[in-house]
Amino acid sequence: MNSKEKIHEKFFADIWKQQNFIKEIKTLDGELIQILEAGEENKEHAGPDFCNARIKIGNITYVGDVEIDTTQNDWKNHGHLLNDRFNKVILHAVFSNDSNHSHVFTQNGRKIPTLAFCNFLSQSLASTIKNAILNDREKRTNKMPCNELSDNLGEKEKVAFLEELGLERFRKKCERAVTRLRELIYLKETKVSEPLIHYTLPKEYSEKILSYDDLNDRLIWEQLFYELIFEALGYSQNKNIMLHLAQSVNLEFLRHFTDRDDFCMAAESVYFSVGGLLPDVLNLKEEHTSEYTRKIFQKWQEIKNSYDGRIFSETDWHFFQLRPQNFPTVRIAGGVFLVERILKQNLISGIFKKMNEIHKPEVLIQILRNLLIVKADGYWKTHYVFDKPSSGEIKYFIGNTRVEEILVNVVFPFAYIYFELFNKKHLSQKTLNTFSHILLSAENNLVKEISESLGLSNHWKRSSINQGMIELFRSFCSKGKCTSCKIGKKVFISSESRVSNL
């Protein structure tokens, strides 16, 4: 194999089928593995790679599925831990272990041992694979396949297509929010306790025409908004765990504490304890534990008997390669202030009121920013993690850049579906127009590279164009769908005709 080739998981699956191991294989915990039956390869690509495998691990023989990944963290990164299709997996086979953990967990909480088979391959084969993976990482880029040909298309056509894609991305966000709204209506009517009970949304709920009675429940809209906000605060690395935290610690539970003067601290005690982020105070020396940590711990002791939801682990969170200001501890601290505004200051009604009253988009956007910005205060102003002061003060828990992204990804899609479903068409159209007028102040790496590839460095700030660039890459460039893309079609056809005329 050429070391410059990209290594696909299909190659690792072939290693599994052929059992190209040069010595006895063991789990990361050191238990002996005997492959009695490697299993049947899954051709549907909608679940584990191998089904009906029979494997002896230690002294126990298991029958179930095998998932093949490049690294240990792919289990989490690919969403397997949240997918019930992977609940029958009995072994996680990876090329290499890039984590500190010897196992992974299924959606229903079952522990799965991991085999890192790079330790059991011939040295030449293992080296070839490692070199190919490193080479692929070095070459990997977000730029478009038509990077050097995009000048063949005029700026006006590019911008028009990106605006179209930006609206398509907006529509997808709205559809996802409506789907979750239907789930919340279903949960309310059936009194299902999420996420302890797993469910599939019945067809009659997924397809029913929502009535005024279905929609006229402030608590459902508040829960939806709250979940979307927390998901956005998690960024890409922690958005799933932040969403599940908001679904577990729902607003119905938090309303029990709204009359307390120490609501924010009570909420923090719940989030950090349920999230698995609070240190084990009982096993720490007194001098190593701050007064804040002890108070948080004590409040949770008072509250925990009234909580019957899911408890998470610190290993569910990502801290690696995050800027300290983006640590989940800091984002949760900021989220608490927004929860207080939702429950005690009627934040959502305030947003809708401003959207109805203010007609100049730039003025409205600035006012909405002010409603969502959270200045740093209290313990987390000088800490990124528990009981270790930061080198400087944090100015904002949720600053202008993050608020802009919340407006684009949460507030405007949320407001749009609210106005649409209540048949307030003039306000839904106004929402869409305002969304298109947002000028963003920060440029992410993906948008920067797409901007440079298309030669549109002056357009990325407009939210509709910005979102269009992301949609372009996610739906076309990254999937190699050049012939389905308006830009790809034109630039490649133009390039081919120029070559044929030479």
- What pLDDT is recorded for position 480? 75
Same domain for 433 and 333: yes
Q: Which residue has the higher pLDDT, 283 or 148?
A: 283
Q: How far is CA 154 from the centre of its chain?
A: 35
By the 8 A CB rule, do 398 and 373 touch? Answer: yes
Instruction: Please state, in angstroms and rounded to a whole number, the distance separating the CA atoms of residues 393 and 375.
Output: 11
pLDDT (mean) for 479-488:
81
What does 445-464 look like in DSSP terms, one character per residue? Answer: HHHHHHHHHHT-TTTTTBHH
Q: Are residues 125 and 270 in the same domain?
A: no
Report residue 484's pLDDT band, with 50, 70 and 90 as the boundaries: confident
| Strand-strand pairing, 60-71 and 89-96 | parallel
Query: Strands (DSSP E) along 168-232, which ranges?
Result: none
| pLDDT score recorded for residue 3 | 34
Indicate whether 262 and 363 sit together in one domain.
yes
Lowest-pLDDT choice from 107-116, 127-136, 484-493: 127-136
Residue 111: inside a domain: yes
- The pLDDT of residue 363: 95
Work out the number of other CB atoms within 10 angstroms of the CB of residue 72.
23
How confident is residue 497, by pLDDT bands cut at 50, 70 and 90?
A: very low
pTM: 0.71
Q: pLDDT tens digits, residue range 39-93? A: 998 876 568 999 999 999 999 999 999 999 888 888 887 778 877 889 999 999 9
pLDDT category at 199 given cuts 50, 70, 90 is low
Q: What integer pLDDT is reported at residue 486 of this predicted model?
A: 85
Across 196-225, average pLDDT: 85
If you count DSSP H runs as helices and E runs as strands, how many of each does the chain have, helices first?
Answer: 20, 12
Inside any domain, residue 482: no
Same domain, 134 and 233: no
> Please, are residues 118 and 126 in contact by the beta-carbon 8 Å criterion?
yes
Tell whether 205 is covered by a domain: no
Q: Are residues 313 and 425 in the same domain?
A: yes
316 and 423 belong to one structural domain: yes
Query: Looking at the domain assignment, is residue 382 inside a domain?
Result: yes
Question: Are residues 104 and 228 located together in one domain of the fold?
Answer: no
Q: Does the pLDDT value for residue 1 go beyond 50? A: no
Which of 400, 419, 437 is at the close of a domain? 437
More confident residue, 12 or 183: 183
237 and 378 in a common domain: yes
What is the Cα–Cα distance from 386 to 330, expressed in whole angstroms? 10
CB 72 within 8 A of CB 102: no
Query: Is 131 a residue whose pLDDT tops 80?
Result: no
Q: What is the mean pLDDT of residues 473-482?
A: 83
CB 408 within 8 A of CB 339: no
Give the residue carrying structure tokens 């108070």.
295
Q: Which of 437, 460, 489 is the last residue of a domain?
A: 437
Angle value at C-alpha 72, between 118 and 139, nearest 5 degrees? 75
pLDDT of residue 46: 67
Q: Strand 25-26 relative to strand 40-41: parallel, antiparallel, unpaired?
A: unpaired
The answer to whether residue 157 sits within a structural domain is no
Which stretch of 16-20, 44-48, 127-131, 428-432 has the lowest confidence by average pLDDT?
127-131
The answer to whether residue 120 scores a pLDDT higher than 80 is yes
Most confident of 199-213, 241-255, 444-458: 241-255
Which of 114, 139, 164 is the last residue before a domain boundary?
139
* DSSP at 20: -
> 398 - beta bridge partners?
374
Residue 210 lies in a domain: no
pLDDT for the residue 285: 63
Mean local confidence (pLDDT), 319-337:
91
Number of domains in the chain: 2
pLDDT tens-digit readout, 391-450: 889 999 999 999 999 999 999 999 999 999 999 999 999 999 999 989 998 878 888 888
pLDDT tens per residue across span 271-298: 999 999 998 887 766 666 789 999 999 9
In the prediction, which pLDDT does 128 show? Answer: 66
What tokens does 203 get?
Answer: 């067809």
How far apart CA 406 and CA 126 sit, in angstroms, is 44
pLDDT of residue 129 exceeding 80, the answer is: no
Kindly state whether residue 316 falls inside one of the protein's structural domains: yes
pLDDT over 60 (residue 360): yes
Q: Residue 357's domain spans which residues?
A: 221-437
Tell me the mean pLDDT in the region 119-139. 66
Quick one: pLDDT at residue 411?
A: 98
Mean pLDDT for 201-221 is: 88
pLDDT level of residue 482 (50, 70, 90 thresholds): confident
Query: Any alpha helices (H) in 275-345, and if so which ranges?
Result: 291-303, 328-344
pLDDT at 501: 43
- One-letter amino acid at 195 equals P
For residues 121 and 228, state if they share a domain: no
Do 123 and 261 fall into the same domain?
no
pLDDT value, residue 8 = 54
Same-domain status, 258 and 401: yes
Name the maximum alpha-carbon separation found in the chain.
81
pLDDT of 2? 36
pLDDT band of 388, cuts 50, 70, 90: confident
pLDDT over 60 at 177, yes or no: yes
Whole-number mean pLDDT of the chain?
A: 86
Residue 192 domain-assigned (yes or no): no
* Three-class HEC string of 370-426: HHHCEECCCHHHCEEECCEECCCCCCEEECHHHHHHHHHHHHHHHHHHHHHHCCCHH
Helix, strand, or coil (residue 262) = coil
Q: How confident is the model at residue 499 (pLDDT cuts 50, 70, 90)?
A: very low
Where does the pLDDT of residue 498 fall: very low under 50, low under 70, confident under 90, or very high at 90 and above?
A: very low
149 vs 192, which has greater pLDDT?
A: 192
Whether the predicted pLDDT of 136 surpasses 80: no
Instruction: Give the range with max mean pLDDT: 168-172, 213-217, 489-493.
Output: 168-172
Please give the full DSSP string across 71-124, using - where no structure is assigned: ETTHHHHTTGGG-GGGTTEEEEEEEE--SS-SEEE-TT--EEEEEEGGGGS-HH
* Higher pLDDT among residues 351 and 436, named by residue: 351
The CA distance from 372 to 20, in Å, is: 56
Is the alpha carbon torsion for 195, 200, 206, 212 positive or negative?
negative
Regarding whether 231 and 133 lie in a shared domain, the answer is no
pLDDT of residue 271: 98
